[in-house]
Amino acid sequence: MELTTFWVYFNARPLFWIVITLGAYLLASVLNRKAGGTALLHPVLVAMLMIILLLTLSGTDYDTYFEGAQFIHFLLGPATVALAVPLYDHRARIRRMLLPLLVVCLSGSLTAVVTTVLIGQLFGASDTLLLSMAPKSVTSPIAIGISEQIGGFPSLSAGLSLTTGVMGCLLAPLVFRVLKVRSHTSSGFALGLAAHGFGTAYAMQRSTLAGAFAGLAMGMTGIFSSVLIPLISQLFGLN
């Protein structure tokens, strides 16, 4: 058997891309730990780049990759549902802060969309790009839905939402130090709001309390945004 046919045979097997995805993530995690846990080398970002490089070099298209990777992608659904558990564990504190949390979340979700669209317009972004960027602070499964609804590119929105997540984790330590945001509840909530799942994963490393508030912020932002973003994009005359 020739090497090329061997590769094609291998390629078609979804299992191969699951192994590659998990392997790349583990390797990226090891690299990240060696580099002292810096968010610049976020394991997800590094794993993504490694896989993109591999796909490009081997001439594999994204659809073939996704045939295997969809099994990992699928778990995002139950994982989002599972965030109810840390929420339940910290329910007493959440109930005490419910009103300020709602106010902060509403103003934060609004700020995230409006600033993105305004800055994008300032730089001369096309309407489709603006619409794809608008749900950038929303967790990717929700961002995909919103983008589809308002006429952006859903998969571009998913990617930009991930990029935003990495940026949030990068900026957070600096922002919190400068503004003296010390409590785990406030920092977690801000992380979940601005950087959704990445922020939640990052906050979870700090404490389950920060993680629970991040998960709460992520869910609330997702719900608010699915209502707010279509309205705001209309207001800006984008669709």
Partner 1 sequence: MVQGFLILLICQLMGEWLMVWFGWPIPGPVAGMLLLLIGLMCYGRVPDGLRLPAEGLVRYLSLLFVPAGVGLMLFAETLAQQWLTILASLLLSTLITLSLTGWLLQAWETRQYKHKE
Kindly identify the residues of this chain, within the stretch 79-118, that bind partner 1 according to CB under 8 A: 79-89, 91, 97, 100-101, 103-105, 107-108, 111-112, 115-116
Looking at the Cβ atoms of 171 and 238, the one nearer to partner 1 is 171
Which span (2-10, 33-41, 173-181, 231-239) binds partner 1, by CB under 8 A? Answer: 173-181
Q: How far is the CB of 2 from partner 1 (least distance, A)?
A: 27
Q: Using the rule CB under 8 A, is 39 a contact of partner 1? A: no
Contact predicate 135/129, CB 8 Å: no
Among 3, 56, 57, 59, binds partner 1 (CB under 8 A): 56
Contact predicate 214/199, CB 8 Å: yes
Contact predicate 188/83, CB 8 Å: no
Q: Choose among 210, 174, 160: nearest CA to 190.
A: 210
Q: Using the rule CB under 8 A, is 204 a contact of partner 1? A: yes
Q: Using the rule CB under 8 A, is 16 a contact of partner 1? A: no
Q: Using the rule CB under 8 A, is 209 a contact of partner 1? A: no
Q: How far is the CB of 5 from partner 1 (least distance, A)?
A: 25
Which span (4-12, 33-41, 68-76, 231-239) binds partner 1, by CB under 8 A? Answer: 68-76
Report CA dihedral (76, 160, 193, 124) to the nearest 10 degrees: -160
Write out the two tokens for 196. Answer: 């959704």
Q: Using the rule CB under 8 A, is 59 a contact of partner 1? A: no
Write out the two tokens for 172. Answer: 């957070």
Write out the two tokens for 50. Answer: 């490694």
Interacting residues with partner 1 between 213 and 232 (CB under 8 A): 215, 217, 219, 222-223, 226-227, 230
Write out the two tokens for 188. Answer: 């977690």
The CA-CA-CA angle for residues 115, 117, 177, to 5°, reads 25
